[in-house]
Chain A
Amino acid sequence: MYNSVLVANRGEIALRIMLTLKSLGIESVILSSPVDRRTLPVKLADKVIELPGNLPNESYLNYNHFLPIAKELGVEAIHPGYGFLSENIEFRKAVDKVGIDFIGPTSENMQVLGEKVSAREAAKKAGVPLLPGSLEPREVDELFEIAKNIGFPVLIKASAGGGGRGIRLVNREEDFMDMATLAMQEAKSAFGNPEIFVEKYLVSAKHIEVQLLGTEKGVLHFGERDCSMQRKNQKLIEEAPAPSISREKAKEIHESAVSLGETVRYQNAGTAEFLLDKDGNHYFMEVNTRIQVEHPVTEFITSEDLIYRQLQVASGEELEIEQKDIKFKGHAIEARIYAEDPYNGFRPSPGKISKIIHPRGVGLRVDSHAEPNSDIPNFYDSMIGKLISYGRSREMARTKLSIALASYKLTGIHTTVPYLKQIIDSEEFRTLKYDTKFLENHMEKFKPDRSLELIARAVAAYKQATQTAMPSTNGKTVDENMFWKKSYWGYMRW
């Protein structure tokens, strides 16, 4: 096991990784951009590498700056968390070069699975079902022929995309050529690789994924998660086990995932993602070669610490568990708390948290770095944290999560808290009648009560009339609203 590990990330995941490091008596080294200096993970770290700027390129992506310092500090391994450098092959190679271990898969794993076309080829080789579509790179008119054969709607995907990025839906044959040309240009500018492919689009699908851990001896799985409650391909609520499939079906999907992992000789933690159609057939989607945001639901039902397992694998320590030792008990659900206004187009809401009291209780886990007066900077992802509940049954976990969301006190910025509560309280969520498009198709369903909106108007008018309004506690977001009105905002989550 290591003596010193660098956490090359920030926020809740940096804190999460650090807790495992501390519990093992490993020295924790962290990165900090200037705006993050007072955050919880930086406060708790044993050593801090200060970064020269706040922009991602100057800070958490700036490995030319921090790698030599890490080496000098005696760091033996780097945990990249999710996002930032976690799936960056150049970074992976640079880490190798300075002689530090990377807590994650091999660069070959990342190469094959990070690129969609080669990932599909690997899945095919592993005998994993694929959606009809193109395999090897082709010219646009060839892709058009393939699209016509499989039938519209189809998806055009950037080969180098992932995590919901670089995907276009084409409903009509006559739009295909224009969209494909545009998609190639976009892929080139966004990912530096113009390669695209087409895939059958499932009108109604569930998102099921399998947690993998590749070891020297082979690939283990830690069961599946259902992440079907999404908005524009971004997950909002995740749970384990997947409630809408039989255990036989789950086993089949686990086997597909493990087979794929074995085929590429996968090392360390990763997630194989699948789509499940209305008839219960599963198809390969992609592999995420990192620890995922939603790993806590798996940890709850397996009583495992996945970060610990990652450290074991990376350091070459033999695992004391085999597949038969990984047992599942109970049900866990996670809700992602973002600093966004769910009732105003999910507009980002950076700024200062005024009051915050995290919910607590038996079977409740809060993964968050946010504290009173925490600043949620605009430079990075808007996630404030995750709320995860555990119960013997799905309904028990759901009820706990609902109560936890209702008791969340979080003011100063807009968050997804009330929206998440509306979703998990909905009839559709309770009775499993939703697919990955549910939230987009039911935008009007989740709105604040009109009486609450009127109360807010009355309160603002009263404050204005009586001039007793509290002084601004939100210096950084002053007057956002005034300017909001002037421009229309489209958005795209990366």
Chain B
Amino acid sequence: MKKIKTEINGIEVEVDVEKDDARIENQNFKFEEDEEGLWIVLDNERYFVEDVIKLSEKDFRVHIQGYSFDVKVMDALSDVDEMEMTGDVTAPMAGVVTKILVKPSQKVKKGDHLLLLSAMKMENEIVAPVEGKVESIHCKENSQVNANELLIKISVD
């Protein structure tokens, strides 16, 4: 049996995975794979998994009954969530940096606005994940950035 931590929109739930089934909070999920794909049986009901997209080593997008969920998985014992507490601010998606609101060596508090990123006609405020000092800025205004690209480094005291 393997214990795996799953996270959807920031909410963690632990899953116990066996060979052909999984348990969450005393509910049993049975997996059945056939030529059509993957089925889940829960409380005698069968659900077809429409698609699973591996977004990264630890991120899956699961499509089920018209809904889609982004699930982050972590080995409950070994994986430390390396994302916490770092001051690297990266682009959550590809877009255009429309405005940089901070200057190097400026002190910022957690939640302070750092820059505006425009994607699909929407302006997104990127905020400081931690308190600290702006160490370096790695993007320019009106420049295109890719998903994951480092935008700003914040040094944590």
Q: List residues of A whose CB falls within 8 A of some B CB.
A: 54-55, 339-341, 343-344, 347-348, 350, 354-355, 378-382, 405-406, 408-409, 411-415, 417-418, 421, 448-449, 451-465, 469-474, 476-494
Contacts and interface: CB of A to CB of B under 8 A. Distances in A.
A457 B65 CA distance: 14
B21 to A, nearest CB: 9
B83 A478 contact: no
Given A414-B68, A490-B124, A461 B59 contact: no
A406 B62 CA distance: 17
Given A457-B15, A486-B90, A493 B121 contact: yes
Interface in B119-133: 119-127, 129
Contacts of B2: 465
Contact of B24 (A411, A415, A448, A457): A457
Interface string B97-124: 0000000000000010000000111111
Nearest to A345: B9
B8 interface: yes
Given A472-B53, A483-B90, A487-B127, A458 B60 contact: no
A350 B4 contact: no
Interchain residue pairs A-B with the least CB separation, the first 7 = A411-B51, A460-B71, A456-B69, A479-B56, A461-B15, A382-B120, A458-B29
Interface string B43-66: 000010111111110111111111
B44 to A, nearest CB: 13
B112 to A, nearest CB: 11
A451 B56 contact: no
B73 A458 contact: no
Given A483-B91, A491-B124, 18 more contacts: A347-B92, A381-B121, A382-B122, A412-B51, A452-B65, A454-B27, A458-B17, A460-B6, A460-B73, A461-B4, A461-B17, A469-B52, A478-B55, A481-B55, A482-B58, A482-B148, A486-B83, A489-B126
A448 B69 contact: yes
B114 to A, nearest CB: 8
B129 A487 contact: yes
Contact of B123 (A417, A483, A491): A491
Nearest to A382: B120
B148 A483 contact: yes
A457 B40 contact: no
Contacts of B38: 459
Contacts of A55: 96, 144
Given A382-B120, A474-B61, A461 B6 contact: yes
Interface of B: 2, 4, 6-10, 13, 15, 17, 22, 24-25, 27, 29, 31, 38, 40, 42, 47, 49-56, 58-73, 83, 86, 88-96, 111, 119-127, 129, 144, 147-148
B63 A411 contact: yes
Nearest to A189: B99
A483 B147 contact: yes
Contact of B148 (A405, A474, A479): A479
A380 B121 contact: yes
A375 to B, nearest CB: 11
A478 B68 contact: no
A408 B63 CA distance: 12
A379 to B, nearest CB: 8
Looking at chain B's contact residues, the main secondary structure is strand
Nearest to A494: B121
5 contacts: A381-B121, A412-B51, A459-B64, A477-B93, A481-B72
Contacts of A408: 66
B50 A409 contact: yes
Given A343-B9, A411-B50, A465-B2, A458 B24 contact: yes
Contacts of B94: 350, 378, 476
Given A418-B67, A452-B67, A381 B120 contact: yes
A464 B39 CA distance: 16
A409 B70 CA distance: 17
Contacts of A476: 94, 147
Contacts of B83: 482, 485-486
A454 B68 contact: no
Nearest to B40: A455
A472 B42 CA distance: 27
Identify the interface centre among A55, A341, A470, A483: most chain B CB within 10 Å of its CB. A483
Nearest to B53: A474
Contacts of B22: 458, 461-462
A481 B60 CA distance: 9
A478 B148 CA distance: 8
Contacts of B59: 479-482
A267 B127 CA distance: 46
A484 B119 CA distance: 14
Contacts of B56: 472, 478-479, 481-482
A339 B120 CA distance: 9
B120 A457 contact: no
Contacts of B53: 354, 411-412, 470, 472-474
B155 to A, nearest CB: 16
B71 A483 contact: no
A114 B112 CA distance: 36
B16 to A, nearest CB: 8
Interface centre among A355, A405, A489 (most CB of B within 10 A): A489
A125 B61 CA distance: 55
Given A381-B120, A472-B54, A480 B93 contact: yes
Contacts of A449: 67
Q: Max chain A CB contacts within 10 Å: which of B42, B49, B63, B95?
A: B63
Contacts of B89: 486-487
